[in-house]
Amino acid sequence: MTNETLETLKTRRSCRAYKPDQVSEEELNAVLEAGTYAPTAMGLQSPKIVVIQDPETRALLSRMNAAVMGREGSDPMYGAPTYLLVLADAARPTAQQDGSLVMGNLMNAAASLGLGSCWINRAREMFDSAEGKALLTRWGIQGEWQGVGFCILGYPAADPKPAAPRKADYIVRV
């Protein structure tokens, strides 16, 4: 059985090469709106999505992310023109779960529009650091927030790697 939604879920792939062109506002807003409709524990809509497009802030975040890995000089964001940073309310016991579902919605919505996206890790370490917390303050975000992930976004510059075959013991029916 299939339909358009199931096809998108199956064909979404992580994109690691981007054109420099910025995504359109219309596409960006559609992806963001899909993110806000992710289920959250008790319907509290606890996460936040921060949109980062200016080159200076992107370069700073890329440097910070690379530093967490000890790979200074690399661009872990693959030159993507938009970063969507998902933050989770540290006061919620389901902070990371709520934020991860937002990440999933963002990536699948991007795929449905033909945009490239990829989850970039290490947001937790970045926003646990004093430098990360100072950035949140600079952006006017108050309170305690955990980094969940960056959903990088843009127009794909290359065909992504095809999906690996699904492992045989993925599903257990009891």
Where along the sequence are the contacts to ligand FMN (CB under 6 A)? 13-14, 16, 118-121, 160, 163
Shortest Cβ distance from residue 25 to ligand FMN (Å)? 26
Beta carbon of residue 123, minimum distance to ligand FMN (angstroms, whole number): 9
- Return the number of the residue (135 or 152) whose C-beta is nearest ligand FMN: 152
By C-beta, is 13 or 63 nearer to ligand FMN?
13
Let me know: does 80 contact 154? Beta carbons within 8 Å: yes
Tally: H helices and E strands in the chain: 6, 4
Distance CA 144, CA 72 (A): 28
In the bound complex, what is the minimum distance in angstroms from residue 87's beta carbon to ligand FMN? 15
Assigned token pair, 52: 């980062």
Closer residue to ligand FMN (CB): 54 or 159: 159
Cα 142 to chain centroid distance, Å, stands at 21
What CA–CA distance (Å, rounded) separates 123 from 99?
12
> Could you tell me the smallest distance in angstroms from the CB atom of residue 148 to ligand FMN?
9
